[in-house]
Structure 1
Amino acid sequence: MTGQQSPSLRPGGPADAPAVLRLLDDATAWLVARGRTGQWGTGPASTDARRIAQADAWARGGGLWLATLADRPVGALVVGAANEHVPPAVEPELYVNLLVTDRAHAGAGLGGRLLAHAAELARERGLRLLRVDCYAGGDGALARWYERQGFTPTDPFTVERPGRGPWPGQVLVRRLP
């Protein structure tokens, strides 16, 4: 990242759930500071029982990868099976369940590097399809970012959230050679 060494990637484990929550908290605060509260709301993940359980499940599930600089996690990637709120794939796939990076390294290509790693994991498993879903509300900037990473939008969807309103999402796919 600017003036620093390149981050290393390592598999995550149960002890890394707090690091994932910190990355989510920091990203949420960054979004809130820019008036972009539709994606993850306004509260920290580290105080939300549902998000804590989710981070624990990711950390124990075998699909967590961390990008680290000087042993500090600066990005997290979780791959595995598709989320239940998206249409099923028509062929075997690897699904990106989470991608979050430290905003202090925005613009340095960290998210793209994590997605490249996801593509390599898919290829190693003999898979030719990588899918992800993301928040499609607001100005659609997140979906456009994934398009710049080589993904093509497919299925829009909406998650109904009682008491909080609907959450618009977009599934994107990337075919692997």
Structure 2
Amino acid sequence: MIIVQAELADLPRLVKFRTDSAAWLTKLGTDQWAKPFPADHLAQSIRNGEVFLVKERLRSDAAATVTLDRDADPRLWTASERAEDALYVHKLSVDRQYAGMDLGGRILDWCGDRAAKTGARWLRLDAWTTNPRLHAYYRDHGFAHVRTSADPSVVSGWAAQRPTALSSGHGLDDSLLPRLTGAD
């Protein structure tokens, strides 16, 4: 599988990832992602070069998506944590057709590899506060729970991190992406 940067033309597919995931999560009994995510926020992340698509081939439909950025929510991360060099995983979604293949785990490993290549120390994420199944998934993929926000306005308040690590074991080809330097 290959990883490419999303383009503005991919915005409808990214919105579909979100709505499809919300429908699946509803069947599991969680309200995660039930509220639509503003398309203009997704568009800005695309323009910033932070949104990635995982595909079987360049011209095939996306199998998964992830946003990888430096956007640390100050309601979740302390000032000293935000001062540390870290990349943050957001909006990781895998098409149900690819469920059970640990594609999400491979994407997390790719994110950790990419973060390490920029010189970041941590790969961080937040997860839906009321989704213990998702928390367990992230723990199973090496993330350590840091804290859960007590702020009721923070619905994705379960914060976790793991050290970054160079790895080619994810098996995802990112050769079509711009080369990274420590300053990226």
Q: Tell me, yes or no, whether TM beats 0.5.
A: yes
**Partner residue in 1 for 2:75:** 85
| Percentage identity across paired residues of the two chains | 25
Task: For CA contacts below 8 A with separation 6 or more, give which structure has more relative contact order.
Answer: 2
Amino acid at match of 1:176: T
Match of 1:129 in 2: 122
What is residue 178 of structure 2 aligned with on the other side? Answer: none
- Per-residue deviation, residues 31-57 of structure 1 (Å, max 9, x unmatched): 1122222x112x5x3xxxx52122212
**Pick from 138, 142, 165: which aligns with 2:134?**
142
Structure 1: segments with no counterpart, 5+ residues: 1-6
C-alpha separation between the residues in 1 aligned to 2:38 and 2:111?
22
Compute the displacement of 1:83 (Å).
2.9
Question: Aligned letter for 1:146?
Answer: Y
Cα distance in structure 1, aligned partners of 2:93 and 2:27: 17
Q: Which amino acid aligns with 1:85?
A: R
* Structure 2 CA distance for partners of 1:159 and 1:22, relative to 1, 3 Å: farther
Contact kept in structure 2, 1:158 and 1:167, CA below 8 Å = no
Change (3 A) 1:160 1:53: farther
Listed as ranges, the gaps of 5+ residues in structure 2 are: 166-184
Equivalences for 1:85-124 in 2 at 5 Å? 85-88=75-78, 89=81, 90-124=83-117
Q: Hey, what does 1:72 align to over in structure 2? A: 61
Task: Evaluate the alpha carbon distance shift between residue 113 and residue 168 of structure 1 in structure 2; reply closer, same or farther with a 3 A threshold.
Answer: closer
The AA in structure 1 aligned to 2:43 is: D
2:95 and 2:49 map into 1 onto residues whose CA distance is 22
Alignment partner, residue 175 of structure 1: 163
Q: Is the 8 A contact 1:23 1:74 kept in 2?
A: no
Cα distance, 1:78 vs. partner? 0.5
Counterpart Cα distance in 1 of 2:12 and 2:5:
15
Number of aligned positions between the proteins:
159
Cα distance in 2 for residues equivalent to 1:99 and 1:159: 23
| 1:27 aligned partner | 21
Runs of 4+ in 1 over 2 A off after TM superposition: 158-161
CA distance in 2, matches of 1:52, 1:33: 24
- Over the aligned positions, Cα root-mean-square deviation in angstroms equals 1.9
- Normalising by structure 2, report the TM-score: 0.78
- On the 8 A contact 2:85/2:119 being kept in 1, the answer is no
CA shift at 1:103, angstroms?
1.7
- Distance (whole Å) between structure 2 residues aligned to residue 114 and residue 158 of structure 1: 29
